[in-house]
Amino acid sequence: MSAEASHVMNKAELQGARRLGFDDMPELVEACLPALNRGRSIAVLAADGSGLELLYALAVSRACQAGGGIGAILLTSTKARAARCAAAVNAFDSDGGSRGRVWPPPGKSSLVPPPGTMALTGRASEILPAVRAGRVRLSDLRLLIIDGTEAIEQAGDWSSVAALLATLDAGTIKIVSCLGPGSLLSDLLTNQLSRAYRWPPELFDEARPEPTKGASRLWYGAAPGLEERLDLLAAALEDTRTGATVFCTDATTAAEVVRGLAARGIAPGSEPDTPTVQVTLEPAVASAAPVAVVFGLPMDLESLTSRLEGANRRIAVVTTRHLGQLLLHARRAGWPTRALPAMAARPDLDPVERFRALVREELQRVDPAAELLLLEPLLEEHGTVPVAAALASLLRRRSAGSATVKQWPDMEADSGLSVEPLPSGDGERGTRSAWTKIYVAVGRRDGAKANDLVGAITGETGIVGGQIGKIEIRNSFTLVDIDSQVVDEVISGLDGSSIKGRTVSVRLDREK
């Protein structure tokens, strides 16, 4: 770590960072640490490979105090992601006893935390029932982390996140990571993170940088396994028909690249013990523009641009886990991006041209990084080609009406990995229930805010904040989602009460 890091991280934290493999401070953490030290909330456009896990670990460790109850909750899109975050936080604070203990650890499926637990991680729809049942109390909560808003929304979990947000004390620190701007992020910045530190600032600016006109594009490829990435690299180099410089993350990786390219009929040269590989292809084009390749994700934007700036053909090959951060780097650099041509599929897997056209159209529309977060465990187990073939089969069967593809939460529940149900004295009260929308005759023109509605509902009826869902404040009225099991109690208790000095009427919403 640099000397500057020692001014914002204590000795134990520096040691924890090294246990996570960070000998140098990531750009993200260096930028966010001053805000974290001042107790500010943070919103970042970042993904795996940026140092997010170090930022989370620092924040959780500081929020958790021995004997202080559950001080932090880390919400993720999948169980695999939750386990990875828990492992990182626990490893970071391994010298701190139970101070930063995160539950559940990898391999556990129950969200009934044992005594001494200082933090929870998992999907919001798993944690919310525990809050409603009173098994998890938020009175000591100092930190809420939302890891990957897009992936959580695609997993069908955002309504549970919104319900948890509605229960938080105004002083709770929030750290939110996103892959890009959008309506969900805009809503969070307006209602939850208005005073949060935002990084990188250029991507939060309303005049966000567009790809530089006339700039050389960044060609990218991503695969989970080393051999698949070497296949992508070899195909990209052959397509250039000229020499190239391949920048690797370290000398060990460079040696793997030399071996892999040689096995694929490309004879690279490399200086001993350096992370740079020089590749010359025959017939070489003497006047060809320089080609630069990064194999593996550099830790920060400066490292990426220093390797690729000035090349007329830029190529990056990374793991699927790091694709989102690579694309964010490219946006900050002003480089247009395009995926490398896919490797040819086996003839027996080759679909009809109409299906190919459909897939090509989807490739242009979809955000690959967000989708890959859900597919990541499958890609690591089986590789990209078999997974692509399986998805193609599912899509064609679904189009023909012969199969139904379930939503992600249902698929995960059927997998046998779902969270064990929590015991509750209120029958089904500890399980996630449907929401019912109510109409409250107070709105924006009366100065009403979400906290006013939450305070009035919980104060007049005695229900807990976790039973209050989405709050839509309009000009003259407000629509509130309420746990269906207590909606009658809320209507009778709130009707005729006073909110912002106005006596309000409350009823079931009649909007269709």
Instruction: Render pLDDT for 467-481 as a digit per residue (tens, 0 to 9).
Output: 788 888 888 889 998
Question: Which pLDDT belongs to residue 401?
Answer: 45
Quote the crossing angle between the two packed helices 487-494 and 450-461, to the nearest 10°.
Answer: 100
**According to the model, what pLDDT value does residue 360 have?**
56
Average pLDDT in the 455-460 region?
82
147: confidence class by pLDDT, cuts 50, 70, 90 = very high
**pLDDT surpasses 50 at 345:** no
> In this predicted structure, what is the pLDDT of residue 418?
38
Segment 397-456, tens digit of pLDDT: 555 444 444 444 444 444 443 333 333 333 333 333 468 889 999 988 888 888 888 888
- Strand, helix or coil for residue 257: helix
Q: Is 279 helix (H, G, I), strand (E, B) or coil?
A: strand
Cβ pair 12, 36 in contact under 8 A: no
pLDDT of residue 76: 92
59 touches 39 (CB < 8 A): no
Q: What is the pLDDT of residue 328?
A: 92
Collapsing DSSP states into helix, strand and coil, what is residue 300? coil
Strand order in the sheet with 506-508: 468-473, 478-483, 435-440, 506-508
Instruction: With beta carbons less than 8 A apart as the criterion, state whether 216 and 312 touch.
Output: yes
- One-letter amino acid at 28 equals L
Measured from the Cβ of residue 241, the count of other Cβ atoms closer than 10 Å reads 13
Of the candidates 424, 413, 453, 479, the one whose C-alpha atom is nearest the C-alpha of residue 157 is 413
> Which structure tokens are listed for 194?
């208005």
Band (55; pLDDT cuts 50, 70, 90): very high
490, β-bridge pairs: none
Nearest to 469 by CA among 432, 420, 431: 432
Of 134, 187, 182, the residue nearest 165 (C-alpha): 187
Q: Would you state the pLDDT for residue 262?
A: 86
Question: What span, in angstroms and rounded, lies between the C-alpha atoms of 349 and 202?
Answer: 43
Between residues 122 and 399, the one the model is more confident about: 122
d(CA 43, CA 239): 40
Helix (H, G, I), strand (E, B) or coil at 299: coil
* pLDDT tens-digit series, residues 288-300: 558 899 999 988 9
Higher pLDDT, 429 or 269: 269
Q: Is the pTM of this model over 0.85?
A: no
pLDDT at 122 over 70: yes
Read off the pLDDT band of 30 (50, 70, 90).
very high
Reply yes or no on whether the pLDDT at 267 is more than 80.
no
pLDDT (0 to 100) of residue 363: 63
Could you report the per-residue pLDDT of 202-255, keeping only the tens digit for each? Answer: 888 754 555 555 557 899 988 888 888 998 898 888 766 667 889 998 888 888
Averaged confidence pLDDT in the chain: 77
Element (H, E) at 314: strand 313-318
Decide: 73 and 105 in contact? Cβ < 8 Å: no
What does the pLDDT average to over 3-8?
51
Q: If you search the block for the tokens 């976790």, which residue do you land on?
A: 466
140 or 382: whose pLDDT is higher? 140
How sure is the predictor about 459, in pLDDT bands with cuts at 50, 70 and 90? confident
- Tokens linked to 393: 């089969």
Query: Among the listed ranges 92-106, 280-294, 413-427, 488-502, which one has the minimum average pLDDT value?
Result: 413-427
143: helix, strand or coil:
strand
* Amino acid at position 349, single letter: L
- pLDDT of 56 reads 94
* Cα–Cα distance for residue pair 468/335, rounded to 1 Å: 44
Spatial CA neighbour of 18 closest among 27, 28, 9: 9
- Tokens representing 359 are 């897939």
Give start and end residues of each alpha helix (H) in 176-225. Answer: 183-191, 201-204
Which residues, at least 6 apart from 182, have a Cβ–Cβ distance to it below 8 Å? 150
Per-residue pLDDT for 111 more than 50? yes
Residue 44 pLDDT > 90, yes or no?
A: yes
pLDDT at 322 over 80: yes
